[in-house]
Amino acid sequence: MTVDEATLTHLAGLAQRGDRQAYATFLHGSRAWLLRYFRRRIMPDQIEDLVQDTLLSVHRKLASYDPSRPVVPWLAAIARYRFVDHLRIAYRNAEDALDDDFPAVAIDDEPALTARLSLDRLFEALPDAQQRAIELVKIEGLSISEASASTGQSESLVKVNIHRGLKRLAALIERA
């Protein structure tokens, strides 16, 4: 289901007033948006879990949306918060790496606002070493020693970079 951002904003306002039909459409539209949002930065088998976690947060924190403003930056802030939280959960033993064939969103085709809110933008705010360590260990599922061999960083430096990078990501959720 594709719902444009203006409609999504209108639906969110109606949902706050208890309109279930509008809320159902809002959730479907948000789900489609979140699937596109996450898919470049998370393993395919993890996406549905993360999307549902995010929708649950949207549901619980619906009052935190200011109906006088566009809804997408609010949705993106909640998505980023859940994403960073998700990264904190180590899944080094994951067997599947990112599937290169998985269809990715073409950044050039994205509207400017969406690009501004993207997870790539969040990652760009990190120093290269931290970005690489997080991508290899937390997203691609490599072990610390594999990431160390791949980057040339010592194992302890990989750990420090992950720790510092996650801390920095958490601080940048609304900024970057």
Partner 1 sequence: MSTNPDVFMEELVGDLRPVRPLHQRIGMAWACLAVGTGAVLLSSVLVMRDDLVAGHPDPMFLTSAGLFFVLALATSWAVVDMARPWVGTRRDGWGWTALMAAVLPLAALGLVILNWAGGNRLSVDSDGQECLGIGSVIGCLTATALVLWLRRGAPSCPRRAGLLTGVASGAAGIFAVSLCCPYNDFLHIGLWHGMTVVLGGAIGRLVVPRLIRW
* Contacting residues toward partner 1, per CB under 8 A: 15-18, 20, 23-24, 27-28, 31, 48-49, 51-52, 55-57, 59-67, 69, 73-74, 76-78, 80-81, 116-117, 170-171, 173-175
Q: How far is the CB of 47 from partner 1 (least distance, A)?
A: 9
Q: How far is the CB of 140 from partner 1 (least distance, A)?
A: 21
Cβ-based burial of 121 (10 A; exposed 0-12, middle 13-18, buried ≥19): middle
Q: How far is the CB of 101 from partner 1 (least distance, A)?
A: 22
Residue type (1 letter), 58:
V
Q: Nearest 5°: phi and psi at 164?
A: -65, -40
Residue placing its CB nearer to partner 1 in the complex, 39 or 132: 39
Residue placing its CB nearer to partner 1 in the complex, 41 or 132: 41
Residue placing its CB nearer to partner 1 in the complex, 90 or 171: 171
Q: What is the 3-state secondary structure (H, E, C) of 50-79?
A: HHHHHHHHHHHCHHHCCCCCCCHHHHHHHH
Residue placing its CB nearer to partner 1 in the complex, 76 or 139: 76
> What is d(CA 92, CA 160) in angstroms, rounded to the nearest whole number?
16
> What is d(CA 100, CA 127) in angstroms, rounded to the nearest whole number?
24
Q: How far is the CB of 135 from partner 1 (least distance, A)?
A: 21
